Amino acid sequence: MSVAITRTDGSRQISENRTCWVSISPAGEVIVFNGRCTHLGCAYGWQTEGRNAGTFFCPCHEGTYTRDGTVVSGPPPRPLDELQSRIDAGQLLVLYQNFRLGTPDKESI
């Protein structure tokens, strides 16, 4: 899923698109992840076929995550970064944030 964000740079308003992934937990809860691998920030995707089927997979360094964002294999130092979200009037609202990469602790930047 792509989200549009607006940020202020001096006196300019800049609109940008960011990627995030939406997963549904076994309990039916919506989980939204930042679209960057926690290792080096590469883009990852959901795999439907092959040896990594049923996982989020980052092809750059073979980072593999479960549906709930847990690291299965590869160099990622922590689970996928979950974003705050809620459903309001039938729309999914997401607080998009970036986090420091390559560290075991989830630190907002």
In a domain, 100, yes or no: no
Residue reference for tokens 């590469």: 42
Write phi, then psi, for 96 (nearest 5 degrees): -80, 130
In a domain, 105, yes or no: no
| pLDDT for 2 | 83
Cβ-contact 64, 55 below 8 angstroms: yes
> Is residue 89 predicted with pLDDT exceeding 90?
yes
In a domain, 46, yes or no: yes
Structural domains in the chain (count): 1
pTM of the model as a whole: 0.88
CATH number at residue 29: 2.102.10.10
CA-to-CA distance for 53 and 36, rounded, in angstroms?
19
pLDDT class of 49 with cuts at 50, 70, 90:
very high
In a domain, 13, yes or no: yes
Please give the sequence-ordered ranges of beta strands (E in DSSP) within 1-104, or none if there are none: 2-9, 12-24, 30-34, 45-47, 55-58, 63-65, 71-73, 82-88, 91-95
Q: The domain containing residue 90 runs over which residues?
A: 2-95
CA-to-CA distance for 44 and 58, rounded, in angstroms?
4
In a domain, 109, yes or no: no
In a domain, 20, yes or no: yes
Give the burial string for 67-94 (b: 16+ CB within 10 Å, else e). eebebeeeebebebbbbebeeeeeeeeb
| pLDDT for 16 | 87
